[in-house]
Amino acid sequence: MRDRPRAVFFGTPAFAATVLRRLLAPDSPVEVVAAVTQPDKPTGRSQVLTAPPVKRLALEHGLRVLQPPSLRRPAAASALARLRPELGIVAAYGKILPPEVLDLAPLGYLNVHASLLPRWRGAWPVGAAILAGDTETGVSIMKLDPGMDTGPVLAERREPIRPDDTTGSLEARLASLGAALLCEVLPGYLAGTIVPQAQDDRAATYSHPVRKADGLLDWTKPAADLERQVRAMQPWPGAFTTWDGKQLRVLRSHVAGEGEAAIPPEAPPGLVVPAGRRAAVVSGRGTALVLDEVQLEGRAPVPIASFLNGYRTFIGSRLGREPAPPAPGDTRAPG
């Protein structure tokens, strides 16, 4: 029986850790010899330097970890070359692999991508699908080329987007789906019986890295758009507005049904109106978004009914009138 090929894994967030965990199982079709991941980053209010999920998992398994600031530096390519990889596997690494790295593995590089390519190439495919109102997404196993998710596809598996899905919940399912699909197709790929199929570039759509500012709710938009935004921004960066000079996060919401919210005539966007025991916010095109769970700056998350008990002036106020710019310069890839 042929030895399992030596594989180097590239990935960073929880999505990638799920894939790596499957590849480290005893029945894995490859031998993972190292994990390449992004450098540790400061997180939270205290800005504690924190290792990414892939690094934590790799160290638990005694796996060698590389965290080069850039794969374009000669030292990074040299370190990878010394590992003698036959195959590379990528899942949400966060950077495009340069040609000098792609040339190192004779069997090429396979990528687990959280969309049905060519739809939603790029850094934020799961959130982009929710935000756009897609009813279905999936995972694709793709052979990497120098482009942005432009390589030929070996296999794909579809997954419905549920009405209550957040980016976090959907990513978790897609990670498990992608890990299983990768291990299904690897034997055929290594044997040469699976031929990757070129993507239709004319049908391509792109997702961009999500920024903190993308969570800001614009109350002139229809409530259906805002409801999807709330779900797409979970768990990061979160959807938010401003109230009484503070940031107010909207954690869960739904579009007001007929007669659910008391919208006065000519009510401006952002006006908070009663909705039974809840509150709703007047939105674009005569719609309203019912708030189910919120979090005021400096406070814990609470159901909206509890929030209303503590803040009696909330009904009748108008949200989003004070600018609350988030911390600059922070973006995130999937996971």
**Among positive and negative, which fits the CA dihedral 242, 247, 248, 250?**
positive
Residue 2 has pLDDT above 70, yes or no: no
Burial 123-158 (b: 16+ CB within 10 A, else e): bbbbbbbbbbebeebbbbbbbbbeeebbbebbbbee
- Provide mean pLDDT across the span 175-204: 97
pLDDT of residue 324: 46
pTM to 2 decimals? 0.94
Q: Per-residue confidence at 151, pLDDT binned at 50, 70, 90?
A: very high
pLDDT in tens, 111-130: 999 999 999 999 999 999 99
For 31-51, the pLDDT digits (tens) are: 999 999 999 999 887 889 999
Q: Taking residues 1-18, what's their average pLDDT?
A: 91
Q: How far apart are CA 279 and CA 275, in angstroms?
A: 5
Ranking 195-204, 216-225, 324-333 by mean pLDDT, the lowest is: 324-333
**How many Å apart are CA 241 and CA 239, to the nearest integer?**
7
Q: What is the pLDDT of residue 296?
A: 98
Other C-beta atoms lying within 10 Å of the C-beta of residue 3: 7
Domains of the chain: 6-207 (3.40.50.170), 210-331 (3.10.25.10)
pLDDT given at position 321: 73
Q: For residue 332, what pLDDT is reported?
A: 60
Q: Does 325 have pLDDT greater than 60?
A: no
pLDDT tens sequence across 282-291:
999 999 999 9
